[in-house]
């Protein structure tokens, strides 16, 4: 048997260590939590996606009584951005979560469906998407969605 080790590089940055552009993206994601429609879980998630041209699109989770019918903040932001500017590749996404009257201390990461959708964009445009996961104790910075989904399924397997 051969064992394969997969290493993922994640940086933990404090607010004063974030660049102005990254801080702007995180603040936009935090603001987007207010637009969440989450009457069932009360777990408000916001996302902000920066395109290569610098434009930022926001999204928030949208729940439904039939839970699978809802949509996560990350895909809301991503799909909205792609509908408005399909020729612009995504460059970075920030994600924040608010519940119980406060932002989470530890960052949350995207669900599997969101990871797959963002990975598809990395593959489509041939460039990485930086991921910023906000928590009050610090922001995780990951340089590519592939880091979050190391054993990828990207459509090349279907050929």
Number of neighbouring beta carbons within 10 Å of residue 44: 21
Q: What one-character DSSP code corresponds to residue 125? A: H
Number of neighbouring beta carbons within 10 Å of residue 48: 28
Distance CA 43, CA 63 (A): 10
Which tokens in the block code for residue 47? 């996302």
Question: Among the options 17, 24, 74, 122, which is catalytic?
Answer: 74
63 classed as catalytic: no
Distance CA 59, CA 123 (A): 22
Is residue 106 within 8 A of residue 12, CB to CB? The reply is: no
Is residue 117 within 8 A of residue 78, CB to CB? The reply is: yes
Is residue 57 within 8 A of residue 47, CB to CB? The reply is: no
Place of tokens 């469906």: 113
Catalytic residues: 74
């Amino acid at each position: 048997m051969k064992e394969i080790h997969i290493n993922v590089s994640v940086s933990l940055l404090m607010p004063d260590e974030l660049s102005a552009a990254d801080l702007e993206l995180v603040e936009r994601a935090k603001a987007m939590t207010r637009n969440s429609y989450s009457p069932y879980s009360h777990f408000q998630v916001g996302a902000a996606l920066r395109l290569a041209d610098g434009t930022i699109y926001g999204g928030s989770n949208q729940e439904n009584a039939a839970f699978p019918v809802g949509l996560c903040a990350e895909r809301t932001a991503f799909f909205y951005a792609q509908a408005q500017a399909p020729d612009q590749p995504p460059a970075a996404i920030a994600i924040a979560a608010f519940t119980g009257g406060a932002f989470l201390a530890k960052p949350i990461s995207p669900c599997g469906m969101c990871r797959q959708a963002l990975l598809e964009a990395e593959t489509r445009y041939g460039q990485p998407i930086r991921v910023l996961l906000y928590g009050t104790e610090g922001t995780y910075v990951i340089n590519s969605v592939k880091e979050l989904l190391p054993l990828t399924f990207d459509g090349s397997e279907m050929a």
